[in-house]
Amino acid sequence: MRKCIIFDMDGVLINTEPLHYQIWRRVFAEYGMEDVSYDCYKGCIGSTNQYLFGLIKDAYGVDFRDRPEVIERFKKVKAEYLQKQGIPRIADVPDVIRYLYEKGYVLAVASSSPQESIEHAMKELGIDDCFSLLCSAVGMKNPKPAPDVFLYTAERLGVQPSDCIVVEDSTNGRLAAKAAGMYCIAFDNPDSGEQDISIADEVCYPFIKLKEIL
């Protein structure tokens, strides 16, 4: 019986994917790149900033991979937004997470966002105490769609990959979950853009449906 649930964060626990795209368009424009297309950007959903920069290099020939000031600018603009508007929420997330925690599931977050962002978001939602582990893929050699962050999370929790369920909104995340040998539930968030749900073992939307599935 699978008793460990690993959640992606952006697009699953908080509704940040549309916000991230708008911020990156603004930041890239400040650095001389106008109109980065969504078709280019969507390939990075679920993965890291460096993965995004690789897509930008391939599509536009501009290399941001060794320019940390670009990431710092993104962080600043995002922080300003969150301070004014708060975290973009997904309906029923806190209630469902606490329900699963009280049912005895071991819960973790495995996200491509920075560690501080994960910790801040879970605290803001009031569910940080429900998670046994909050894990960032930043700095890992192979980001999603590679399975590294999920395998690392399972190792840290002391469980086998086959004992884990992953909840993911993105194609990259679902590929990573299946490559890790984990059962994958696709959270089919319409705000995450067109993502491949066929990769997953099961599909969930809205978030409260997780109660029925699990």
201 is catalytic: no
Q: pTM higher than 0.85 for the full model?
A: yes
Residue whose C-alpha is closest to residue 153's, from 192, 187, 182: 182
List the catalytic residue out of 10, 39, 95, 163.
10
* Every domain of the chain and the residues it spans: 4-15+89-213, 17-85
- Residue 175 to residues 58, 148, 169, Cα–Cα distance (Å): 21, 11, 11
188 is catalytic: no
List the catalytic residue out of 8, 35, 39, 58.
8
Alpha-carbon distance 202 to 199, whole Å?
9
Query: Average of pLDDT values for 18-24?
Result: 89
CATH classification number, 4-15+89-213, choose in 3.40.50.1000, 3.40.50.920, 3.10.110.10, 3.10.20.30: 3.40.50.1000
Summarised one tens digit per residue, pLDDT across range 180-192 is 999 999 999 998 8
Q: Which residue do the tokens 């990431």 mark?
A: 71
Summarised one tens digit per residue, pLDDT across range 68-127 is 999 999 989 988 988 888 899 999 999 999 999 999 999 999 999 999 999 999 999 999
